[in-house]
Structure 1
Protein backbone atom coordinates (compact mmCIF):
# COMPACT_ATOMS: atom_id res chain seq x y z
CA UNK A 1 0.00 0.00 0.00
CA UNK A 2 1.18 3.52 -0.75
CA UNK A 3 2.08 6.07 1.89
CA UNK A 4 -0.97 7.58 3.58
CA UNK A 5 -1.45 11.28 4.21
CA UNK A 6 -3.81 13.37 6.31
CA UNK A 7 -6.33 15.55 4.51
CA UNK A 8 -5.70 19.27 4.81
CA UNK A 9 -7.67 22.30 3.64
CA UNK A 10 -5.84 22.45 0.32
CA UNK A 11 -6.11 18.71 -0.43
CA UNK A 12 -7.46 17.93 -3.88
CA UNK A 13 -8.43 14.28 -4.27
CA UNK A 14 -7.82 12.20 -7.35
CA UNK A 15 -8.21 8.50 -8.10
CA UNK A 16 -11.29 7.88 -5.96
CA UNK A 17 -14.81 6.62 -6.53
CA UNK A 18 -18.13 8.03 -5.42
CA UNK A 19 -21.24 6.30 -4.11
CA UNK A 20 -24.48 8.31 -4.27
CA UNK A 21 -25.97 8.86 -0.81
CA UNK A 22 -29.26 7.31 -1.92
CA UNK A 23 -27.50 3.93 -2.13
CA UNK A 24 -26.16 3.97 1.45
CA UNK A 25 -28.02 1.52 3.65
CA UNK A 26 -29.92 0.11 0.69
CA UNK A 27 -30.43 -3.50 -0.25
CA UNK A 28 -27.35 -3.82 -2.45
CA UNK A 29 -24.52 -6.05 -1.30
CA UNK A 30 -21.27 -4.31 -0.46
CA UNK A 31 -19.54 -5.83 -3.51
CA UNK A 32 -22.36 -4.65 -5.82
CA UNK A 33 -22.10 -1.16 -4.30
CA UNK A 34 -18.35 -1.01 -4.94
CA UNK A 35 -18.86 -2.40 -8.45
CA UNK A 36 -21.46 0.30 -9.13
CA UNK A 37 -19.01 2.91 -7.86
CA UNK A 38 -16.34 1.65 -10.29
CA UNK A 39 -18.82 1.72 -13.18
CA UNK A 40 -19.94 5.23 -12.27
CA UNK A 41 -16.30 6.34 -12.13
CA UNK A 42 -15.66 4.81 -15.57
CA UNK A 43 -18.72 6.74 -16.84
CA UNK A 44 -16.90 9.99 -16.13
CA UNK A 45 -14.12 8.81 -18.43
CA UNK A 46 -16.71 8.01 -21.11
CA UNK A 47 -18.11 11.53 -20.78
CA UNK A 48 -14.62 12.91 -21.37
CA UNK A 49 -14.06 10.58 -24.33
CA UNK A 50 -17.47 11.31 -25.87
CA UNK A 51 -18.87 7.78 -25.68
CA UNK A 52 -22.48 8.67 -26.44
CA UNK A 53 -25.10 6.51 -28.15
CA UNK A 54 -27.58 7.66 -30.81
CA UNK A 55 -30.06 8.78 -28.12
CA UNK A 56 -27.49 10.88 -26.22
CA UNK A 57 -26.86 8.46 -23.34
CA UNK A 58 -23.35 7.89 -22.00
CA UNK A 59 -22.16 4.29 -22.06
CA UNK A 60 -19.09 2.43 -20.93
CA UNK A 61 -17.30 -0.64 -22.22
CA UNK A 62 -15.87 -2.76 -19.45
CA UNK A 63 -14.98 -6.42 -19.83
CA UNK A 64 -16.17 -8.50 -16.90
CA UNK A 65 -12.78 -10.21 -16.79
CA UNK A 66 -11.09 -6.81 -16.28
CA UNK A 67 -13.55 -5.90 -13.52
CA UNK A 68 -12.92 -9.22 -11.78
CA UNK A 69 -9.16 -8.71 -11.91
CA UNK A 70 -9.31 -5.08 -10.73
CA UNK A 71 -11.63 -5.90 -7.84
CA UNK A 72 -9.86 -9.11 -6.86
CA UNK A 73 -13.07 -11.12 -7.30
CA UNK A 74 -14.02 -14.15 -9.37
CA UNK A 75 -15.77 -13.76 -12.70
CA UNK A 76 -18.80 -15.52 -11.20
CA UNK A 77 -18.98 -12.96 -8.37
CA UNK A 78 -18.80 -10.07 -10.82
CA UNK A 79 -21.57 -11.62 -12.96
CA UNK A 80 -23.78 -12.08 -9.87
CA UNK A 81 -23.21 -8.48 -8.78
CA UNK A 82 -23.83 -7.13 -12.28
CA UNK A 83 -27.17 -9.02 -12.22
CA UNK A 84 -27.89 -7.41 -8.84
CA UNK A 85 -27.26 -3.95 -10.33
CA UNK A 86 -29.46 -4.73 -13.35
CA UNK A 87 -32.25 -5.98 -11.06
CA UNK A 88 -31.97 -2.79 -8.98
CA UNK A 89 -32.31 -0.73 -12.16
CA UNK A 90 -28.91 0.94 -11.68
CA UNK A 91 -27.43 -0.31 -14.93
CA UNK A 92 -28.61 -1.54 -18.32
CA UNK A 93 -26.50 -3.67 -20.62
CA UNK A 94 -26.54 -3.88 -24.39
CA UNK A 95 -25.02 -7.07 -25.74
CA UNK A 96 -22.22 -6.68 -28.26
CA UNK A 97 -20.63 -9.23 -30.60
CA UNK A 98 -18.57 -12.05 -29.14
CA UNK A 99 -15.18 -10.91 -27.88
CA UNK A 100 -16.25 -7.29 -27.41
CA UNK A 101 -17.20 -5.73 -24.09
CA UNK A 102 -20.92 -5.07 -23.64
CA UNK A 103 -22.19 -1.51 -23.62
CA UNK A 104 -23.14 -0.64 -20.05
CA UNK A 105 -25.41 2.29 -19.24
CA UNK A 106 -25.03 3.52 -15.67
CA UNK A 107 -28.04 5.22 -14.11
CA UNK A 108 -27.85 7.57 -11.13
CA UNK A 109 -30.51 8.65 -8.63
CA UNK A 110 -32.17 11.87 -9.77
CA UNK A 111 -31.18 13.57 -6.51
CA UNK A 112 -27.50 13.06 -7.39
CA UNK A 113 -27.68 15.19 -10.53
CA UNK A 114 -26.78 18.87 -10.17
CA UNK A 115 -29.68 21.05 -11.19
CA UNK A 116 -32.35 18.57 -10.11
CA UNK A 117 -34.06 19.61 -6.89
CA UNK A 118 -34.34 16.74 -4.43
CA UNK A 119 -37.29 16.27 -2.13
CA UNK A 120 -36.26 17.99 1.08
CA UNK A 121 -37.24 16.30 4.32
CA UNK A 122 -36.16 17.12 7.85
CA UNK A 123 -33.51 14.38 7.63
CA UNK A 124 -31.81 15.72 4.50
CA UNK A 125 -32.55 19.45 4.58
CA UNK A 126 -29.39 21.32 3.56
CA UNK A 127 -27.99 23.78 6.07
CA UNK A 128 -28.28 27.32 4.67
CA UNK A 129 -27.24 29.37 7.69
CA UNK A 130 -24.03 31.31 8.10
CA UNK A 131 -23.15 30.08 11.58
CA UNK A 132 -21.45 26.80 12.22
CA UNK A 133 -22.22 24.85 15.37
CA UNK A 134 -19.37 22.94 16.92
CA UNK A 135 -19.89 19.21 17.37
CA UNK A 136 -17.42 19.14 20.25
CA UNK A 137 -20.06 19.99 22.83
CA UNK A 138 -21.31 23.16 24.35
CA UNK A 139 -24.65 24.86 23.95
CA UNK A 140 -26.44 24.48 20.63
CA UNK A 141 -27.79 27.57 18.93
CA UNK A 142 -31.50 27.61 18.15
CA UNK A 143 -32.87 28.73 14.82
CA UNK A 144 -36.11 29.99 16.31
CA UNK A 145 -35.25 32.88 18.66
CA UNK A 146 -38.86 34.13 18.89
CA UNK A 147 -40.13 30.87 20.34
CA UNK A 148 -40.34 30.84 24.14
CA UNK A 149 -39.65 27.53 25.82
CA UNK A 150 -41.26 26.61 29.12
CA UNK A 151 -39.01 24.82 31.53
CA UNK A 152 -40.75 22.77 34.19
CA UNK A 153 -38.79 21.78 37.24
CA UNK A 154 -39.81 18.99 39.50
CA UNK A 155 -38.79 18.66 43.13
CA UNK A 156 -38.50 15.26 44.64
CA UNK A 157 -38.21 14.72 48.32
CA UNK A 158 -39.59 12.75 51.19
CA UNK A 159 -42.64 15.00 51.64
CA UNK A 160 -43.79 15.26 48.00
CA UNK A 161 -45.68 11.98 47.62
Structure 2
Protein backbone atom coordinates (compact mmCIF):
# COMPACT_ATOMS: atom_id res chain seq x y z
CA UNK A 1 0.00 0.00 0.00
CA UNK A 2 1.35 3.39 -0.99
CA UNK A 3 -0.10 6.89 -1.04
CA UNK A 4 0.63 10.24 -2.62
CA UNK A 5 2.32 12.93 -0.53
CA UNK A 6 0.11 15.88 0.33
CA UNK A 7 0.79 19.03 2.33
CA UNK A 8 -0.46 17.22 5.46
CA UNK A 9 1.29 13.87 4.94
CA UNK A 10 3.61 12.63 7.69
CA UNK A 11 7.01 12.04 6.10
CA UNK A 12 8.34 8.49 6.59
CA UNK A 13 11.43 8.01 8.72
CA UNK A 14 14.53 8.70 6.62
CA UNK A 15 18.25 9.37 6.77
CA UNK A 16 20.38 12.00 5.08
CA UNK A 17 22.30 10.86 1.98
CA UNK A 18 25.47 12.99 1.70
CA UNK A 19 25.80 14.41 -1.81
CA UNK A 20 29.50 13.53 -2.07
CA UNK A 21 28.54 9.83 -2.18
CA UNK A 22 26.92 10.43 -5.58
CA UNK A 23 30.35 11.10 -7.07
CA UNK A 24 32.04 8.05 -5.53
CA UNK A 25 31.36 5.42 -8.18
CA UNK A 26 34.03 3.19 -6.63
CA UNK A 27 31.76 2.57 -3.65
CA UNK A 28 29.09 -0.11 -3.85
CA UNK A 29 25.48 0.72 -3.08
CA UNK A 30 25.78 -1.36 0.09
CA UNK A 31 28.80 0.66 1.22
CA UNK A 32 26.92 3.92 0.63
CA UNK A 33 23.88 2.73 2.58
CA UNK A 34 26.03 1.53 5.47
CA UNK A 35 27.89 4.85 5.53
CA UNK A 36 24.55 6.69 5.84
CA UNK A 37 23.56 4.44 8.76
CA UNK A 38 26.90 5.04 10.49
CA UNK A 39 26.65 8.80 9.90
CA UNK A 40 23.18 8.92 11.46
CA UNK A 41 24.45 6.95 14.47
CA UNK A 42 27.37 9.40 14.78
CA UNK A 43 24.87 12.28 14.88
CA UNK A 44 23.16 10.60 17.81
CA UNK A 45 26.49 10.16 19.58
CA UNK A 46 27.11 13.91 19.28
CA UNK A 47 24.26 14.44 21.75
CA UNK A 48 25.27 11.78 24.27
CA UNK A 49 27.96 11.71 26.90
CA UNK A 50 30.71 9.12 26.72
CA UNK A 51 31.17 9.00 22.93
CA UNK A 52 34.01 11.51 22.60
CA UNK A 53 37.67 10.51 22.81
CA UNK A 54 40.55 12.48 24.32
CA UNK A 55 40.96 14.42 21.06
CA UNK A 56 37.32 15.51 20.94
CA UNK A 57 36.47 13.10 18.13
CA UNK A 58 33.06 11.38 18.09
CA UNK A 59 33.01 7.61 17.85
CA UNK A 60 30.27 4.98 17.74
CA UNK A 61 29.80 1.29 18.45
CA UNK A 62 27.93 -0.81 15.92
CA UNK A 63 28.52 -4.59 16.06
CA UNK A 64 28.64 -6.35 12.67
CA UNK A 65 25.61 -8.50 13.51
CA UNK A 66 23.46 -5.52 14.47
CA UNK A 67 24.54 -3.52 11.42
CA UNK A 68 23.75 -6.45 9.14
CA UNK A 69 20.25 -6.67 10.61
CA UNK A 70 19.74 -2.91 10.26
CA UNK A 71 20.56 -2.85 6.53
CA UNK A 72 19.19 -6.34 5.73
CA UNK A 73 22.53 -7.57 4.40
CA UNK A 74 24.70 -10.57 5.23
CA UNK A 75 27.50 -10.13 7.75
CA UNK A 76 30.01 -10.85 4.99
CA UNK A 77 28.55 -8.04 2.84
CA UNK A 78 28.78 -5.66 5.79
CA UNK A 79 32.41 -6.60 6.48
CA UNK A 80 33.28 -6.02 2.81
CA UNK A 81 31.52 -2.64 2.81
CA UNK A 82 33.27 -1.54 6.02
CA UNK A 83 36.65 -2.50 4.56
CA UNK A 84 35.86 -0.45 1.45
CA UNK A 85 34.83 2.57 3.53
CA UNK A 86 38.00 2.24 5.56
CA UNK A 87 40.11 1.99 2.39
CA UNK A 88 38.62 5.29 1.18
CA UNK A 89 39.18 6.91 4.61
CA UNK A 90 35.49 7.42 5.32
CA UNK A 91 35.71 5.48 8.56
CA UNK A 92 38.42 4.43 11.01
CA UNK A 93 38.05 1.34 13.20
CA UNK A 94 39.93 0.82 16.45
CA UNK A 95 39.97 -2.48 18.27
CA UNK A 96 38.87 -2.46 21.92
CA UNK A 97 39.94 -5.94 22.93
CA UNK A 98 38.71 -9.50 22.63
CA UNK A 99 34.92 -9.79 22.67
CA UNK A 100 34.40 -6.02 22.44
CA UNK A 101 32.97 -4.11 19.50
CA UNK A 102 35.36 -1.85 17.59
CA UNK A 103 35.18 1.88 17.94
CA UNK A 104 34.12 3.38 14.62
CA UNK A 105 35.06 6.94 13.72
CA UNK A 106 32.98 8.32 10.85
CA UNK A 107 34.77 10.79 8.57
CA UNK A 108 33.76 12.94 5.58
CA UNK A 109 35.57 14.86 2.83
CA UNK A 110 36.31 18.48 3.65
CA UNK A 111 35.05 21.15 1.25
CA UNK A 112 37.03 24.28 2.05
CA UNK A 113 34.31 26.45 0.48
CA UNK A 114 31.69 25.36 3.02
CA UNK A 115 31.52 25.42 6.79
CA UNK A 116 31.08 22.21 8.77
CA UNK A 117 27.46 23.11 9.46
CA UNK A 118 26.79 23.73 5.76
CA UNK A 119 28.36 20.46 4.65
CA UNK A 120 26.48 18.45 7.27
CA UNK A 121 23.20 18.03 5.40
CA UNK A 122 23.56 19.91 2.12
CA UNK A 123 22.04 18.88 -1.21
CA UNK A 124 23.54 19.95 -4.57
CA UNK A 125 21.04 22.81 -4.97
CA UNK A 126 21.77 24.21 -1.51
CA UNK A 127 18.61 22.91 0.12
CA UNK A 128 18.89 21.10 3.41
CA UNK A 129 17.64 17.72 4.51
CA UNK A 130 17.23 16.74 8.15
CA UNK A 131 17.87 13.35 9.74
CA UNK A 132 14.61 12.25 11.40
CA UNK A 133 16.40 11.14 14.53
CA UNK A 134 18.00 14.55 14.98
CA UNK A 135 15.32 17.13 14.41
CA UNK A 136 11.57 17.51 14.42
CA UNK A 137 9.99 17.17 10.97
CA UNK A 138 7.40 19.61 9.70
CA UNK A 139 4.52 18.43 7.49
CA UNK A 140 4.74 21.57 5.34
CA UNK A 141 8.39 22.61 5.27
CA UNK A 142 11.75 22.38 7.03
CA UNK A 143 12.90 25.61 8.59
CA UNK A 144 15.97 26.83 6.71
CA UNK A 145 17.20 29.32 9.25
CA UNK A 146 20.10 27.72 11.16
CA UNK A 147 19.28 29.48 14.43
CA UNK A 148 15.69 28.24 14.41
CA UNK A 149 16.84 24.71 13.61
CA UNK A 150 19.29 24.79 16.53
CA UNK A 151 16.45 25.85 18.86
CA UNK A 152 14.55 22.72 17.86
CA UNK A 153 17.38 20.30 18.56
CA UNK A 154 16.07 17.36 20.55
CA UNK A 155 17.38 15.41 23.52
CA UNK A 156 17.27 11.65 23.98
CA UNK A 157 14.84 10.24 26.57
CA UNK A 158 13.62 6.83 27.71
CA UNK A 159 15.38 3.75 29.00
CA UNK A 160 16.88 3.07 25.57
CA UNK A 161 17.64 6.73 24.81
CA UNK A 162 15.68 6.51 21.55
CA UNK A 163 12.83 8.97 22.18
CA UNK A 164 13.82 12.41 20.92
CA UNK A 165 12.04 15.47 22.30
CA UNK A 166 12.89 19.16 22.31
CA UNK A 167 12.44 21.39 25.34
CA UNK A 168 9.29 22.77 23.70
CA UNK A 169 7.97 19.22 23.23
CA UNK A 170 8.50 18.46 26.93
CA UNK A 171 6.77 21.70 27.95
CA UNK A 172 3.73 20.87 25.81
CA UNK A 173 3.59 17.26 27.02
CA UNK A 174 3.67 18.42 30.64
CA UNK A 175 0.50 20.41 29.98
CA UNK A 176 -1.35 17.99 27.72
CA UNK A 177 -0.20 14.52 28.85
CA UNK A 178 0.05 14.41 32.69
CA UNK A 179 1.68 10.94 32.77
CA UNK A 180 4.05 11.88 29.94
CA UNK A 181 7.05 10.18 31.60
CA UNK A 182 5.18 6.87 31.53
CA UNK A 183 4.39 7.32 27.84
CA UNK A 184 8.02 8.17 27.05
CA UNK A 185 9.09 4.86 28.58
CA UNK A 186 6.32 2.99 26.75
CA UNK A 187 7.39 4.47 23.42
CA UNK A 188 11.07 3.80 24.14
CA UNK A 189 10.44 0.13 24.97
CA UNK A 190 8.08 -0.35 22.02
CA UNK A 191 10.50 1.06 19.45
CA UNK A 192 13.38 -0.94 20.91
CA UNK A 193 11.45 -4.24 20.82
CA UNK A 194 9.63 -3.75 17.50
CA UNK A 195 12.26 -1.90 15.50
CA UNK A 196 9.69 0.69 14.45
CA UNK A 197 10.42 4.41 14.27
CA UNK A 198 8.28 7.54 14.20
CA UNK A 199 8.85 10.91 12.52
CA UNK A 200 7.55 12.90 15.51
CA UNK A 201 7.84 11.31 18.95
CA UNK A 202 5.93 14.07 20.76
CA UNK A 203 2.98 13.70 18.38
CA UNK A 204 3.06 9.92 18.84
CA UNK A 205 2.90 10.27 22.63
CA UNK A 206 -0.04 12.69 22.40
CA UNK A 207 -1.79 10.34 19.97
CA UNK A 208 -1.34 7.37 22.32
CA UNK A 209 -2.60 9.37 25.27
CA UNK A 210 -5.73 10.53 23.41
CA UNK A 211 -6.35 6.96 22.28
CA UNK A 212 -6.12 5.72 25.87
CA UNK A 213 -8.19 8.61 27.21
CA UNK A 214 -10.89 9.42 24.65
CA UNK A 215 -13.06 12.46 25.27
CA UNK A 216 -16.57 11.60 26.59
CA UNK A 217 -19.26 11.79 23.92
CA UNK A 218 -21.15 15.06 23.83
CA UNK A 219 -24.61 14.86 25.40
CA UNK A 220 -27.58 15.60 23.17
CA UNK A 221 -30.07 17.94 24.85
CA UNK A 222 -32.39 18.20 21.86
CA UNK A 223 -35.88 16.75 22.21
CA UNK A 224 -38.61 15.73 19.89
CA UNK A 225 -41.80 17.75 19.64
CA UNK A 226 -44.20 17.14 22.61
CA UNK A 227 -41.34 15.45 24.53
CA UNK A 228 -40.33 16.93 27.88
CA UNK A 229 -36.74 17.05 29.04
Normalising to structure 1: TM-score of the pair?
0.63
Whether the aligned pair in 2 keeps the contact of 1:20 and 1:109 (CA below 8 Å) is no
- For 1:34 and 1:6, the matched residues in 2 are separated by 25
Shift of 1:68: 1.0
Q: SS state of the match for residue 100, structure 1?
A: coil
- For 1:47 and 1:14, the matched residues in 2 are separated by 23
Question: Are the structure 2 counterparts of residues 115 and 22 from structure 1 closer, same or farther at C-alpha, using a change threshold of 3 Å?
Answer: closer
Shift of 1:86: 0.2
Question: Are the structure 2 counterparts of residues 81 and 11 from structure 1 closer, same or farther at C-alpha, using a change threshold of 3 Å?
Answer: same
Question: Are the structure 2 counterparts of residues 110 and 6 from structure 1 closer, same or farther at C-alpha, using a change threshold of 3 Å?
Answer: farther
Q: SS state of the match for residue 83, structure 2?
A: helix
Summarize deviations over 1:112-145 as a string: whole Å, max 9, x none: 73257xxxxxxx6759xxxxxxxxxxxxxxxxxx
Question: Are the structure 2 counterparts of residues 126 and 79 from structure 1 closer, same or farther at C-alpha, using a change threshold of 3 Å?
Answer: closer
Summarize deviations over 1:37-76 as a string: whole Å, max 9, x none: 0000100111111311100000000001111122221111
- For 2:20 and 2:28, the matched residues in 1 are separated by 14
Normalising to structure 2: TM-score of the pair?
0.46
Name whichever of 3-12 and 48-57 sits farther off.
3-12
- For 2:37 and 2:117, the matched residues in 1 are separated by 20
Q: Which residue of 2 aligns with 1:49?
A: 48
- For 2:126 and 2:45, the matched residues in 1 are separated by 31
Q: SS state of the match for residue 55, structure 1?
A: coil
Question: Are the structure 2 counterparts of residues 88 and 11 from structure 1 closer, same or farther at C-alpha, using a change threshold of 3 Å?
Answer: farther
Q: Which residue of 2 aligns with 1:150?
A: none
Question: Are the structure 2 counterparts of residues 9 and 76 from structure 1 closer, same or farther at C-alpha, using a change threshold of 3 Å?
Answer: same
Please say if 1:31 is aligned against 2:34.
Answer: no
Shift of 1:15: 3.2
> Residues 122-137 of structure 1: matches in 2 within 5 Å?
none
Q: Which residue of 2 aligns with 1:114?
A: 117
Aligned residues: 118
Question: Are the structure 2 counterparts of residues 95 and 22 from structure 1 closer, same or farther at C-alpha, using a change threshold of 3 Å?
Answer: same
How big is the alpha-carbon RMSD for the aligned residues of Structure 1 and Structure 2?
2.4
> Based on CA coordinates, which of the two structures has the bigger radius of gyration?
1
